[in-house]
Amino acid sequence: MVCLGNICRSPIAEGILKSKIEKHGLPWTVDSAGTSSWHSGEQPDNRAIAITKKYGVDITYQKARQFSPYDFEKFDRIYAMDAGNYRDILRLALTDDEKQKVEMILNESFPGMNKQVPDPYWNDNGFDEVYKMLDEACEAVVKKYAVNV
């Protein structure tokens, strides 16, 4: 899960997907990162923590980090929150196989539409909408890749 600063959208997505895979007992590894290093080492934004807590998901343990080319080796799927992050991730890909791992997260719930998750950082009221969008997309990820769910 990748956004710009790794303090709003991607930590929410990480927390949601982790809660779903835990519920279904899936042996997946989920992480999040930002394309920038601005907030490296910081906890998610307090509003992101509050919205996930509202829905029973704890993200207080997360720490922001910058996306790395090593992530292409470590992960099978890399989900970008918006077109800018998608382009920034692809710039770091060295092979076609690495590029094939990158997808816009909302394409899981709206296939082929390349919808973007709006950045709620500047809109206090946007966190609930972002949570719901990401919850739907993460549910689609589980249904798509998990067997017998």
- How many Å apart are CA 57 and CA 44, to the nearest integer? 13
Catalytic residues: 3, 9, 119
CA 51 vs CA 36, 61, 87, 92: distances in Å: 23, 15, 28, 31
Strands (DSSP E) found in the chain: 2-3, 33-34, 78-80, 102-104
- How many Å apart are CA 40 and CA 25, to the nearest integer? 30
